[in-house]
Amino acid sequence: MYIVAGLGNPGSRYETTRHNVGFMTLDRLARELGVAFRRAPMRGAPAMAARARRDGIDAVLLKPHTYMNLSGLAVRAAASYYGVGPESIIVVYDDLDLEVGRIRIRARGSSGGHRGMRSVIDEMGTEEIVRVRIGIGRPPPWEDSADYVLSSFVPEELPLMSDAITNAAKAILCIMAEGVEAAQTEFNRIS
């Protein structure tokens, strides 16, 4: 079984923001798998979850509702509830250091300054967690990064982000079916 955690902030005010591409990716994946989100059954941190099965592989799609900086609490609670170790967790989230619409898959590494991923690493006690990063680009020099990640995409970015979210969802399915290296080979080169 896998836990696929999409990082974001709960609430309609954040739905279309750059910081919520993790949630957007899980929504796309849930549609692809024909499942719906419900309140997660585990205790310890609020979250929405959807159970899915494809080609004999079970997965829980998880949207922590702890706000971004405490996402690890929900991931740890889900891992404990479902008996899943860090090797079976995939985290998808936004990345300022990637161009808008690019995705990068890594099997391990630091948080790269992303506080949601830092929370997951801290709570799980390891950097050995697969992650799918989706590029949201850097803000212009006059705009604060915190304001930028909570802003919506501009119209010309929307087609790029739609493609990136679709590719990220496909990459997650590839990771679960074929492994991280296969997904890296196929999806890290897409621009």
The residues annotated as belonging to the active site are 19
CA angle 136, 62, 48 (to 5 degrees): 110
List all residues 6 or more positions away from 122 whose beta carbon is below 8 Å from its beta carbon.
Answer: 72
Token pair, residue 166, equals 């679709």
Q: How far apart are the first and last CA of the chain?
A: 30
Q: Tell me which residue has tokens 């929504």.
A: 27
CA 147 to chain centre: 20
Token pair, residue 60, equals 């829980």
CA 14 to chain centre: 15
| DSSP state at residue 12 | G
- As to burial, measured by CB atoms within 10 angstroms (0-12 exposed, 13-18 middle, 19+ buried), residue 59 is buried
Distance CA 140, CA 144 (A): 8
